[in-house]
A and B are shown apart, each in its own frame.
Chain A
Amino acid sequence: MNTILELDGVRHLYHNSRATKAAARARSITPPRRGLIEADIRLEKGKILGLVGPNGAGKSTLMCVLAGILSPQKGTILLDGRPVDGDADQLRHRQRVGFMPERVGWSGPGTPKGVLQRLCVVRGLNRNIAMNLLETVGLRSRTNDLLSSLSQGMRQRLSLAVALMGDPEILLLDEPMNGLDPVAQGAFRDMIQQKADQGATVVISSHRLNELERIVNRVAIMNQGKIVTRGSFSSVEHDLGVGHRLLISGLGDSPKGHIMKNPFIEIEEIDGESDWNMRLTRHDQSWSADLRAELVELIGKEGARLTLMEIVPPNLEEILATATGLERNLALQEESE
């Protein structure tokens, strides 16, 4: 069996106390007053899952349930097909998970080396691995610096080092790319891919959809505490009915009039007169070779010359908007309330 961790009908109702909300606000995280997550999810070995959703969807809470920090009130967590039940099972669960929470503001009188050495004690690991981890995440030169002197990017690196401790089989990373410079983001992607190639299961929750698209091979979309859809990009696109776009550019008279006569094709965007670009969508989602040939012929009849024809898959932002029903304006309005 390829499934390592599974949430089966898990339901976690949480009522955030004032202290919890204050703690969340201190880290610039939107704190919901109360919420409910209901999730069925399977994490498969060697796969990288992207967890996306609007603010307050319950992603961080789901990550905490997956990490074994919060226990569900209903449903079962299965580790290697066996229910996680009781203290010993919970310790076994957490032993196999590396968790990087969102925006950890490392502070206080400690040092990066001290933090890792302390957690080595907790995990029963050799303290010498702390230096190797600091080297892996590029913090070797800041080993003995005070935590309060670290930049946000450095703190993210330290959190990542913590998640990597003990070479966990399941990596749960909540907004891991916040504060990382572009070079570090590239190195991060490579490292995650390497971990997945070695058989680790990775879950990344992020709002940086462009970056996420480059790493994950599966996606789960959350909205209002529920996983709306999940699977590979193509299956999610199919489930949601999000079509691929066709970008065409040409010189000469635009074929706009003829295209508009076709009831199955919609012109999403048009730009220019004699040197034009168009973005087309089809409600049945398909851009078959026959259809494209028909279009090329049509454009030729108009006396125009086609300079570009490209099928563009929907991006994660579009998929998210379709899955959650949130439009860009609406999403902004909700955030500013």
Chain B
Amino acid sequence: MSSLTTVIKLSLYEVRVRIRSQRMVILGPLLILFIPGSVWGFADPNTTLPGQIAVDGAPTVMFLSSLFVLLSATLGVVLVGFDAISRPRMTGELAIDLAQPIDRRDLAMAHLFGVWGTVAIPVATLQLLSLGLIYRQMDIVPDPLDSGIWIMSTALLLFWYASLQLTASSMAQDLGSSVTFGVATWLFFTLLWLLVTVVIATLLGVDATDTSNLEFIRFQEHADLFSPNGVYQLILQSRLPEVARPTVHPVHLILSTIGWTLLPTGFYLQRFRNLKP
């Protein structure tokens, strides 16, 4: 059996076990409420959004619902993955895994895909369902490219969070510190990033008191390249009508996407390679 087949089979096993776990039973309704729920609301032609935001097509609905994806699905990865390495390490199950005739890199990837798939599969299913909701509410068939980018970028975002969370789990001394690290990372990128951006902008002399200031908007978009959430939203924003597209150069966005995909994963694989039971 090739190592790729082994990785896929192990990942699917992990997904099967984790998806039936109690925490997914709690997380499931939350995802349903946040993803199809937000799409249902944003796609309603009678909805009036604050800040004169006009919903003029499916990409806008997808972009607006990304906020709810960031609040629910990424937290889901944190909750599913916080003990993926630290618990088996504490119980001794990891020693058994490491004693098996399998490359450590393959084992690490199986854990990563297992955690990622546990959240990404239900999220992608709900996103497909949401496309139906857009059609029902707005009477338009979402463009396959827009839909594909929405689903793929969400999957990519969850992959970034999974690799960050598994790195944390491999470093944690106990389950508490592992979940703390995961939640802190989530809070930092989800809620505190704007504050960090404002502080840095102010320190660099960019006027951050007026959020509609073009200079600040440009600065914020560039700063977002250093945040997984920011990159995710920039990708979706690039599918919006011309006036609402980000000022970030597409090459920078692509490089940042590649960076967020390779760097945390590479660091996690390196850690796993040197892991002691």
Give chain A's interface residues, CB within 8 Å of chain B. Answer: 14, 16-23, 26-27, 64, 67-70, 87, 91-92, 94-95, 97, 99, 101-110, 114, 117-119, 121-124, 159, 162
Contact call B13/A118, Cβ cutoff below 8 A: yes
- Rounded to whole angstroms, the CA-CA distance of A186 and B58 in the bound complex is 69
Tell me if B173 and A18 are in contact (CB < 8 A).
Answer: yes
Instruction: Output the least CB separation between B95 and chain A (Å).
Output: 4
Task: Knowing A22-B173, A94-B101, A109-B17 are in contact, say whether A122-B95 is a contact too (CB < 8 A).
Answer: no
Q: Tally B residues with Cβ within 8 Å of A.
A: 34
Q: Which 8 A-B pairs have the closest CB atoms?
A: A105-B91, A104-B92, A95-B101, A99-B99, A22-B173, A101-B95, A26-B90, A109-B21
Instruction: Tell me whether B10 and A102 are in contact (CB under 8 A).
Output: no
What separation, in Å, do the CA atoms of A107 and B86 have in the docked complex? 12
Task: List B contacts of A14 (CB < 8 A).
Answer: 276
Q: Are B92 and A22 in contact (CB under 8 A)?
A: no
Contacts of A101 in B (CB 8 A): 92, 95-96, 99, 277
Chain B residues 81 to 118 lying within 8 A of chain A, measured CB to CB, are: 86-93, 95-103, 107
Asked whether A94 lies within 8 Å of B91 as measured between CB atoms, the reply is: no
Residues facing A in B11-53 (CB within 8 A) are 13, 17-18, 20-22
Residues of B within 8 A of A105 (CB): 90-93
Q: Is B96 a contact of A104 with CB atoms below 8 Å?
A: yes
Closest Cβ neighbor of B18 among chain A residues: A109
- Among residues of A, the one whose C-beta sits closest to the C-beta of B277 is A69
Q: Which residues of A contact B64 (CB under 8 A)?
A: none
Q: Can you report 20 A-B residue pairs in the complex whose CB atoms are below 8 A from each other?
A: A14-B276, A17-B276, A19-B89, A19-B173, A27-B90, A27-B91, A68-B99, A94-B100, A101-B277, A104-B92, A104-B96, A107-B87, A108-B17, A109-B17, A110-B17, A121-B9, A121-B10, A122-B107, A123-B100, A124-B1
* B171 proximal to A (CB < 8 A): yes
Docked-complex contact B10 and A118, CB < 8 angstroms: yes
- B172 contacts the other chain (Cβ, under 8 Å)? yes
Residue in B closest to A18 when the chains form the complex, CB atoms: B173
Q: With both chains docked as a complex, state the minimum distance between the C-beta of B230 and any C-beta of chain A, in angstroms.
A: 30
B6 within 8 A of A: yes
Q: Are B174 and A26 in contact (CB under 8 A)?
A: yes
Q: Are A91 and B90 in contact (CB under 8 A)?
A: no
Beta-carbon nearest neighbor of B9 in chain A: A121
Kindly state the separation between the CA atoms of A105 and B90 in the bound complex, as whole angstroms.
8
Least Cβ distance of B171 to chain A in Å?
6
Nearest residue, chain A, Cβ from B110: A122
Task: Please indicate the chain A residues that have their CB under 8 angstroms from the CB of B90 in the complex.
Answer: 22-23, 26-27, 105
Q: How far is the CA of A121 from the CA of B171 in the complex (A)?
A: 27
Q: Does A121 contact B96, Cβ atoms closer than 8 Å? A: no
Could you tell me the distance in whole angstroms from the C-beta of A157 to the nearest C-beta in chain B?
14
Q: Which residue of A lies closest to B93 (CB)?
A: A104
Once the chains are docked, how many angstroms separate the CA of A26 from the CA of B174? 9
| B99 and A97 within 8 A (CB) | yes
Instruction: State whether A99 touches B92 (Cβ < 8 A).
Output: no
- Would you give the shortest CB distance from B97 to chain A, in whole angstroms? 8
Contact of B92 among A27, A97, A108 (CB under 8 A): A27
Residues of B within 8 A of A19 (CB): 86, 89, 171-173
Tell me how far the C-beta of A32 lies from the nearest C-beta in chain B, rounded to whole angstroms.
12
Q: B residues within 8 A CB of A110?
A: 17
Determine how close the nearest CB of chain B comes to the CB of A28; give it in whole angstroms.
11
- Beyond known contacts A99-B96, A104-B96: 9 more, CB 8 A cutoff: A18-B173, A19-B89, A19-B172, A64-B277, A104-B91, A109-B17, A122-B100, A123-B100, A123-B101
Residues of A within 8 A of B87 (CB): 107-108
State the Cβ distance, B201 to closest chain A Cβ, in Å: 37
Whether B95 and A69, one on each chain, are in contact in the complex, defined by CB atoms closer than 8 angstroms, is yes
With A16-B276, A18-B173 given, is the CB distance from A121 to B13 under 8 Å?
yes
Residues in A with CB closer than 8 Å to B22 are 109
Q: CB < 8 Å: which of B88, B95, B103, B107 contacts A99?
A: B95
**Closest beta carbon of chain A to B18's beta carbon, Å:** 7
Query: Do B96 and A91 touch across chains, with their CB atoms under 8 A apart?
Result: no
Cβ-defined partner of A20 (8 Å) among B1, B9, B101, B276 = B276
Looking at the assembled complex, report how far the CB atom of A62 sits from the nearest CB atom of chain B, in whole angstroms: 14
Most chain A beta carbons < 10 A, residue from B18, B87, B171, B277: B277
Q: How far is the CB of A101 from chain B (nearest CB, A)?
A: 4
A109: chain B residues at CB < 8 Å are 17-18, 20-22
What CA separation (Å) do A109 and B18 show in the bound complex?
Answer: 7
Cβ of A91 and Cβ of B21 under 8 Å apart? no
Closest A residue to B96 by CB, please name it: A162
Closest Cβ–Cβ distance, residue A24 to chain B (whole Å) = 9
Q: Of residues 162 to 207 in B, which have CB atoms within 8 Å of A's CB atoms?
A: 171-174
Give every chain B residue within 8 A of A67 (Cβ-Cβ): 99
A92 to B99, CA, bound (A): 11
Contact of A91 with B102 in the complex, beta carbons under 8 Å: yes
Report chain A residues within 8 Å CB of B91.
Answer: 26-27, 104-107
Residues of A within 8 Å of B101, CB to CB, are: 91-92, 94-95, 122-124
Q: Give bound CA distance, A102 to B92, whole Å.
A: 8
- Chain A residues, Cβ within 8 Å of B107: 122
Q: Type the 1/0 row for B233-277, where 1 means its CB is closer than 8 Å to any CB of A.
A: 000000000000000000000000000000000000000000011
